[in-house]
Structure 1
Amino acid sequence: MRNKLIEFKNVSFKYGEEQPWVLKNCSFEVYENEAIAIIGHNGSGKSTIAKLMNGLLFPQEGEIVINGQRVTEESIWEVRKEVGMVFQNPDNQFVGTTVQDDVAFGMENRGIPREIMINQIDKMLTAVGMQDYLMTEPHKLSGGQKQRVAIASVLAISPKVLILDEATAMLDPKGRKEIMKTVTEVQEEHQLSLITITHDLYEVVQAERVIVMNKGEVWDEATPRDIFAKKEELRKIGLDVPFVAILSDELKKAGIEMKREALNQEKLLEDLWTSHSEM
């Protein structure tokens, strides 16, 4: 049994007294070393959830607990040691004049000894494939390289949770896959909980569990396979379905027996091959 790491308990939030609720009575849990995707149409509350987890915002109703500690203005600095966040635009996170300075920044603020910092900088940049850019100025990096450095900077403070808030949205498909491959490897190596807030269906199908937001409420939560089996319901709330899942449905209609809901090309080919072999 994995322990609870994050708890949202009937959380509601709005950006001002006269504004509508962005989140309404929102409850869910995240467990240690779990990979979760949070999806929903624009305005469904996804990014607000990320900011609440990191204490950038505080709920008007309900409570949030991170690793057993309630998130309040008094506990916020302790909470931020547990939760690291990578945003859509990495330029908003850079504070150092070189890659090395940027990765060091968070550790310096925590008073980590220099010898540990040097080792940690090398370790984290190696983990994201950026060890050869130690003295490079961040503005000279490509979009994908900037995101790798942003991830290394967050990982350097050894959080228990890594949140990617649309972190691959500005990258091309190849760059997205490379970043997500790196993140998955880092998550497994460091036993992190990974929360991906995304519109990218490739990222969603990699998760263990998907939380679907709609109009500020948790619409559903289940495995990617179970979520994408609800194709018509998802379309009604403005969400896409993986092309492979649509193709799988069409094959079933054509009389080709499929054993399960295929979510990627490899699984679809495997199912087709198995079905053909058994005929």
Structure 2
Amino acid sequence: MRKRLVEFRNVSFRYGDEQPWVLKNCSFVIYENESVAIIGHNGSGKSTIAKLMNGLLFPQEGEIIINGQHVNNETVWEVRKDVGMVFQNPDNQFVGTTVQDDVAFGMENRGIPRAEMANRIDDTLTAVGMQQHRMTEPHKLSGGQKQRVAIAGVLAIFPSVLIMDEATAMLDPKGRKEIMQTVSDVQKERHLSLITITHDLEEVVQTERVIVMNEGEVWDESTPRGIFAKKEKLQRIGLDVPFVATLSDELRKAGVPIENEPLNHDELLEELWILHSTM
């Protein structure tokens, strides 16, 4: 059985005593080496969850446990060694004059020896395909390249949990696909827990499990296939479903007996081919 790496126990949070609750009695677990998507409409509490995991915020009620440690003012710096976060706009994370300097920044703050820093810079830039840009000024990079550097800077501190908070939202479809493939490869290689907070349904279907937030509460959690089987309920709380799922429903209405719940075009084509072969 996999180790519990992130635990939210009845967590509630609001941005001020007179403000409404952003999270209400929120509980879930994320395990080591697991990929999880957190989805929900705007204002459902997704990004607040990410900031609570990283100790940027603290809950008014409940407990958060990261890798066995309760998150509080005393433990927050230790917790941040385990949790790395990549934000939507990579420019907000850059502090170095070159790509190499930027990747080194987090390690310098942690007192990592120079020789070890050099090895990690090489390894992480190679992992994200940015080794040839190590002496480039970050502002000269494309959006996708900037996001790769931001990911490298987080990976260099060797976190146990990598949070992608709408990290591909500013990229075009090709850039999104490339970044998520890079992250998926690194996650498997380093056995990270990957938490993806996103509106992109293509990213959601690639994860092992989905947590659906609605009005600050955990509305449901299941596999991507299990979640997207609830199309009408998802749409009632303001969420989209993959185009393939909608197309499958229309085909069923037209008399095509699709039994399973395809998540992508390849699965739908396979389903149709099987049906064709048996006719």
State the TM bucket, normalised to the shorter chain: over 0.9
User: Secondary structure at 1:186's aligned position in 2?
Assistant: helix
CA drift at 1:259? 3.1
For normalisation by structure 2, the TM-score amounts to 0.99
Q: Residue 264 of structure 2 aligns to which amino acid in structure 1? A: N
Gaps of 5+ in 2: none
Alignment deviations for residues 39-82 of structure 1 (CA, whole Å, 9 cap, x no partner)? 00000000000000000000000000000100000000000000
> C-alpha deviations, 1:175-198, integer Å up to 9, x for none?
000000000000000000000000
Please give the root-mean-square deviation of Cα atoms over the aligned residues, in Å.
Answer: 0.6
* Number of the residue aligned with 1:62: 62
Secondary structure in structure 1 of the residue aligned to 2:220:
strand
- Indicate the SS of the match to 1:207: coil
Q: SS at 1:277's partner residue?
A: helix
Q: How big is the shift at 1:278?
A: 1.8
Which amino acid is the alignment partner of residue 160 of structure 1? S
Q: Give the structure 1 partner of residue 114 of structure 2.
A: 114
Q: Which runs of 4+ in 1 moved over 6 A?
A: none
Task: Indicate the residue corresponding to 1:155 in structure 2.
Answer: 155
What aligned pairs does 1:135-146 form with structure 2 within 5 A after superposition?
Answer: 135-146=135-146
CA distance in 2, matches of 1:189, 1:260: 31
Work out the percentage of aligned pairs sharing the same amino acid.
Answer: 79
Instruction: Please name the residue that 1:192 is paired with.
Output: 192
Give the distance between the partners of 1:252 and 1:47, measured in 2 at CA. Answer: 37
Matches within 5 A, 1:6-85: 6-85=6-85
What is the letter of the counterpart of residue 191 of structure 2?
Answer: Q
The one-letter code matched in structure 2 to 1:74 is E
- 1:226 paired with 2:223, answer no
Deviates more, 1:266-275 or 1:65-74: 266-275
Give the SS at the match of 2:233. Answer: helix
Matching residue's letter, 2:170: M
Gap runs ≥5 in structure 1: none
Cα distance in 2 for residues equivalent to 1:137 and 1:47: 29
Name the SS for the 1:153 alignment partner. helix
**1:158-190, Cα deviation, whole Å (9 max, x unpaired):** 000000000000000110000000000000000
Residues 192-222 of structure 1, C-alpha deviations (whole Å, 9 max, x = no match): 0000000000000001000000000000000
The one-letter amino acid paired with 1:17 is D
CA distance in 2, matches of 1:9, 1:119: 38
1:70-110 CA-to-partner distances (Å, cap 9, x unmatched) read 00000000000000000000000001100000001111111
Q: CA deviation at 1:31?
A: 0.2
| 2:268 aligned partner | 268
SS of 2:88 mapped into structure 1:
coil
- 2:94 corresponds to 1:94: yes
3-state secondary structure, aligned to 1:159:
coil
How many Å separate the matches in 2 of 1:150 and 1:142? 12
